[in-house]
Structure 1
Amino acid sequence: MSYKPRTLFGLIEDINTSLFLPHIQRPFVWEEEQMLRLFDSLMRNYPIQTLLFWRTKDEIKARKFMEEAEWDPDLSDFYEPNVSKSGAEKVFVLDGQQRMQTLYAIFRGAILSESGVRLEAYFDVTSGDKMTDTGLLHQIKFSNEPLPLPWYRVANLLGAHAQRNAEELADELNESLDALNASKPVEQRDTEEVRRSREKRVRRNMSQLISLLREERHFWVQQLDGVADKFPYKTVLDIFVRVNSGGTKLDASDLMFAAMKEGWGEIEEAIEETTELLNGANLQFDKTFPLKCLLVAHGRGAEASAEKFTGADGEKLLTDMEASWERAEHAFQELRDFLANDLKIFADKVIRSYTSFIPLFDYLYQNPKPKEADRALMRGYHYKAQLFGWYSQSTDTVVNALHGIVGKPCPGGFPIDDVKAYFAGRSSQGELKKHQLTETRLRFILLNLVYVDQMGTSPFDVKYKGNEPHVDHIYPRHASLTKLGLPSSEVNHLGNYRFVGATDNIRKRGELPASYFSRLKHSGVDIRKHLLLDSFSADPSQLAFDEDNYRKFRDERLEAIWQIANTIVNPENSKVAT
């Protein structure tokens, strides 16, 4: 096993030539905010976790990194059969995919917008002196067109400016910035002090960027050598699971328990049992979640730290928690029942933020046994939070603000209008609109919502992982692209998506819809839960494989999905919530 420093330039050069992802790796899941935080950490010279690689010649399915990072891609497009075969030497990333894909996108590639537009990274070379509301010092923007100074195209460091040194680049940028300053009216020009300060930041920023790329001191790689040493697939798989699923790692809650046990000896056991209760439906809550719920309910804020449980104030907090534990336990049980019975959530794929459940606990703690109409509003809140990314940034700030809205007796029911008003103040959406149904990254949540409504349960409610549903095209993707000549934006469309079991999806292959659904119907399968439209369900032969029939079916089915989603996501606008 080797452990050595690497340059970022060398790592990027290795990507998709000798460095790949194993098939056991999940897709790229980092939000844009996490990407920006990684860049900011590196610019501050903060250390990042060691990367873990595995060198092997085994027959392991190899996947390429994305040249343009996208969310919810078709992973089958990125597999490399020649690299995957036995005898082909390759290096797999076991731990570090999210970081490396982020760095590749920033320094060489791009990200794709939801509409499929390529966005490249631009860095504000003058940043570093003022912190944003999200806690960042160094600013990155992704843009589909060149940005003017002080924005610098980061990919130039590996392209047009690959042979330039930091001092030369800083001098050139400062000269251009000085020229821009000189072109302003006299009264708007920077003072000499401001100009000198800006010049220093530019020099420091460009020096750090070049250092990140070219010096062997920022990135450390631990490599398991399965060619020279014995690291069989079974052993590596165990290592991978431990590294990516927790293993013996400590999380924030473990650090807090040490400070809590003197005040309440049974707290860790209570928290572990609660976490197990919430995770009974294949979810991934960690022990920090119930701790944050308790802190919020007791008015101490969502920020989880050991300091809150020390000193006289910490002792009082623990005493209060222990005294009211029965009440909290009932609220956790009600939250679990709400997840399982009302939301029917059984998979991470339909959750974009676990933090969004803290205000639901906070509400149940103060308002136990909500009526059916209130649960409909709670359900609407949940879907809004997931679909609109209400918790994509500054999550503790959001939770603390909502505590003032939901963390008190609410005789009028769940205060969805006040919650929406808060997010409107943060320039966030409050109601689902029809045009949003076609946003690709939301398809799992929206499809699950529809299937729960139609079937009374989630297709993700499975015990065996291999039975989890796939997103399937009703009109086959490949045939629609090649034979009908439709653009991908029309084929990869919610009106054409359904869930299908993994095994059935493999058997289906590229069978045309009229034949496939007629066969299912004759076998006694209820195809309406998939098609949603009575006319097509009664006569699947109407699913003729031509452009006009496809668009008719897709658009009518999208309208049916909209009617379901609008009722569930926007219950405050319907009679359900009265």
Structure 2
Amino acid sequence: MSFQTPLTISEVINDIHSKKYLLPSIQREFVWSSEQISMLFDSLMRDYPISSFLFWKVPKEKASEFKFYEFLRDFHQRENRHNPKADINGSDDVMAVLDGQQRLTSLYLALKGTYATKLAYKKWDNPLAYPKKKLYLNLLGTPENISYEYEFEFLTDAEAARSDADHHWFPVGKMLDLKEQYDVMNYMIEAGLSSNPDKEKAKYANKVLYKLHSVIHINKIISYYLEQSTELDKVLNIFIRVNSGGTTLSYSDLLLSFATAQWETRDAREEINEFVDEINQIGRGFKISKDIVLKACLVLCDMSDISFKVDNFNRTNMLLIEKEWDNITKAIRDALVLISSFGFSRENMTSNNLMIPIAYYFKTIGLPNNFETSTSKIEDRKNIKLWFISALLKRVFSFAPDGALKPMREIIKSQSSNGFPIDAIFAKFKGTNRALQFTDDDIENLLYSKYNHGETLVILSILYPWADLKHNFHLDHMFPKSKFTDKRLKTYGIPDEKISDFKANCNYIGNIQLLEEIPNIEKKAMDFNKWLNEKIPAGELKDYKQKHYVPNVSLDFSNFDVFLEEREKLLIQKLKTELRK
């Protein structure tokens, strides 16, 4: 390994663009946030060191023995997170990046690409939730955050166009076109920055723009070492060691590095990435990570030690996972299809570890087809659902999941001949801090769940077993939430001493029902008793009240406290029936 002559950023970016630099398959994918990219550029502008890089030169005659990927050209959190496979059939040697991919990808995206992440207030499957943004530098002011000296921001074109006396957003990528210093001066003149009546701002813009020009075109910032060994074990060892800092390798990245190097007939990186993307589209969508899939591999392959340790990722284990990959993926896929049929998704499955025992059960019983719809599996599905909901509500996997996964695996392995062994699992954990049984206090505490709590829909799935939650059901306030204001409650004649209690209790599950989308839209803010009388046919009213646990009390708004107390009694009765084993 030898130290090489440093390069400028513009030289490296042009070489990445022409695909001179590639990524080895053992390399992790891009994980940096927009804030990390902005901080990188702030550091560059302040002449802070950004550490050296490590490149791996692979002779063209040896390149075909390895797999390589291109750099991301545009990052999209949902649709474009994976690096495309590189075509290495050319006549040149391959220059692969062993250390520095996150920094180099960040530089490329900032100077030539776009960056799109989900807006916090929009749903993950909404295409409009991921606006494409570019990196801009404000030439007229400094950031409010004192940790930064220069104001770099990822903005849409529309956001960047909103300039004012304190903001002129310069697209950072445009600096690649301003190769000479006179190009920078011409931009200053054409943008009217040189003639700014505020001379201090004009000077600041001039200083910042020339500084950015130096960072990109003049200063030789990219210092790097070159490794030329073609021994994969040596390269893999170097890769793991140098990636112990920065954004540290996750366990899944580490395992993928080993798997990629040791799988013989499949491309581990592509197989696992494609599978994760696929299963996260099941039903209303899941959020299964590579870590969970690889954890499931250890469990489903019956490895004695399922913890994430380098010793567990040896060649023998990796080859076993490769051999069992088709069975593993079917088991996980079928488990998530079943969980989706229960009405669960990324929105309300609070621990992804929950799918692993179900997948292991499917693999143990021979991976039956159509388990989620087979009439012969009704009782089995009922038991799996009860276990799933109990484990979820009891937060069995919220700490040290191996302590639950290993004993569950042993029970399933030895006692699954007559169906999912729910009794044995419940008995195993009885009296421990992972107990699945519900006491009276446990069940009553469930009623403290509120409208926007993650577990509320879980509880409603127990109370509404007839509701197919794969379809669009809404959580509806039976007594409309909008009516619980001081002014409106007084118009209903609620005494002052009761108003605070009414307001405090309106969001509890005792006032929540599951309602199909259209009836919920029609209901809007109608008083509950009025809606029942006008929208529910007289012949269906009795059935509706039974299905929705409506107590036989006055439904006038002034009687809300009595309604809530009596409905909670009905809910407790149902929960005791469903959660007791």
For the pair shown, the structure with the greater C-alpha radius of gyration is: 2
Give TM-score, length-normalised by structure 1.
0.48
Give TM-score, length-normalised by structure 2.
0.48
Structure with the largest fraction of helix = 1
